[in-house]
């Protein structure tokens, strides 16, 4: 009788677990680059918040391809996920994926995308772009030559680039050479592009020089080119605040990185998904904007004390 009772209890527990699993909701995350430090931080923030709410999480890496991102969204729709979270793609590049989700009544959240029909929440990347160019201009003054490493497939880089462009607009003494980063291979691109630019700009005329990058990885390649050339006369400013970038700043190899609170952004985006689900038709799409931190050699030790895990 005791064995029968235990078996009945065990079967009931297994059935309960099966039902709970079957009822668990799922968040599908469409990553721009799943091995990028900032993407990882956003994914971790969203995942922790989702798992705390009892959701499962699936991630598809698109390797910065909008076509793969649309395909990933359609895959998630077919799988019947309960919400989709896209990372760093312009919403305008995800037309077929958003349309498929909208038709299936699946809410879509964006990290860095625009608000369009079907997007319930997004984040803004322009503030950290503003912060980065303002700091760069403080360092070089009114006359300088700048290499700007941009990336227009990524919506966050587009927003950051808007901040950069607005910052240098109307400043006749600021000469900008733009280079569009190639992905994959962003570190190598930064290295090769910076090396060629340094050769063309030996710094002998006394004009201040600077390199700006819309995220840390191309800048790490540029910093390596500076080391290889033995150059210490170039201001270097990028965005993200990855652990590698913070280490470069700490060692004096990079001038500054603007830390973006990506983990918190991922967390708040998922919380907004839950709020949108609860509000239903009454929900108004929102934009989340969290200030970043300009990290320099002067404040990096304190920053690392406050943020021991970086992002």
Please report whether residue 48 resides in a domain.
yes
Q: Which residues of the chain have pLDDT under 50?
A: 1-21
Backbone angles phi, psi at 118, to 5 degrees: 110, -20
Per-residue pLDDT, 153? 84
Helix H or strand E segment including 93: none
What is the CATH number for 59? 3.40.50.2300
Helix H or strand E segment including 99: helix 95-103
Per-residue pLDDT, 22? 53
Please report whether residue 22 resides in a domain.
yes
Per-residue pLDDT, 311? 62
Per-residue pLDDT, 6? 45
One domain for residues 150 and 271: no
One domain for residues 247 and 130: yes
Contact by Cβ (8 Å): 57, 31: no
One domain for residues 186 and 109: no
Please report whether residue 98 resides in a domain.
yes
Provide the number of structural domains found in the chain: 2
Quick one: 256 exposed, middle or buried, by C-beta within 10 A (0-12, 13-18, 19+)? buried
One domain for residues 104 and 135: no
Please report whether residue 304 resides in a domain.
no
Contact by Cβ (8 Å): 217, 191: no
Contact by Cβ (8 Å): 122, 109: yes
One domain for residues 146 and 238: yes
* 163-176 residues labelled b (16+ CB within 10 A) or e (exposed): bbeebbeeeeebee
Please report whether residue 294 resides in a domain.
no
Please report whether residue 300 resides in a domain.
no
Domain that holds residue 103: 2-123+262-289
3-state secondary structure 3-21: HHHHHHHHHHHHHHHHHHH
Q: Which of helix, strand or coil describes residue 200?
A: helix
One domain for residues 91 and 155: no
Per-residue pLDDT, 51? 98
Q: Which of helix, strand or coil describes residue 40?
A: helix
Please report whether residue 308 resides in a domain.
no
Cis peptide bond N-terminal to 184, omega within 30:
yes
One domain for residues 112 and 171: no
One domain for residues 251 and 267: no
């Amino acid at each position: 009788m005791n064995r029968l009772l235990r078996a009945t209890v065990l079967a009931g527990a297994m059935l309960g677990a099966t039902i709970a699993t079957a009822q668990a909701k799922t968040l599908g995350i469409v990553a721009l680059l799943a091995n990028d430090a900032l993407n990882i931080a956003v994914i971790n923030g969203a995942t922790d918040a989702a798992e705390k709410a009892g959701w499962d999480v699936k991630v598809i890496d698109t390797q910065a391809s909008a076509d793969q991102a649309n395909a990933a969204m359609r895959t998630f729709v077919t799988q019947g996920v309960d919400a989709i979270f896209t990372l760093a793609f312009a919403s305008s590049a995800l037309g077929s994926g958003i349309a498929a989700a909208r038709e299936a009544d699946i809410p879509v959240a964006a990290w860095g995308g625009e608000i369009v029909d079907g997007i319930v929440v997004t984040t803004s990347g322009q503030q950290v772009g503003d912060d980065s160019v303002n700091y760069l201009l403080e360092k070089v003054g009114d006359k300088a030559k700048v290499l700007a490493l941009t990336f227009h497939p990524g919506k966050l880089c587009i927003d950051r680039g808007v901040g950069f462009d607005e910052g240098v607009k109307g400043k006749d003494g600021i000469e900008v050479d733009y280079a569009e980063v190639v992905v994959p291979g962003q570190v190598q691109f930064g290295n090769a592009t910076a090396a060629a630019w340094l050769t063309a700009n030996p710094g002998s005329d006394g004009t201040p020089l600077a390199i700006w990058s819309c995220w840390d990885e191309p800048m790490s390649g540029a910093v390596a080119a500076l080391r290889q050339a033995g150059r210490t006369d170039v201001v270097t400013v990028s965005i993200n605040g990855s652990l590698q970038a913070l280490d470069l700043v700490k060692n004096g190899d990079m001038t500054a990185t603007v830390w973006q609170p990506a983990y918190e952004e991922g967390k708040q985006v998922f919380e907004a998904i839950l709020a949108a689900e609860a509000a239903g038709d009454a929900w108004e799409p929102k934009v989340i904007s969290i200030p970043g931190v300009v990290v320099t050699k002067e404040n990096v030790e304190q920053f690392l004390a406050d943020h021991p895990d970086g992002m």
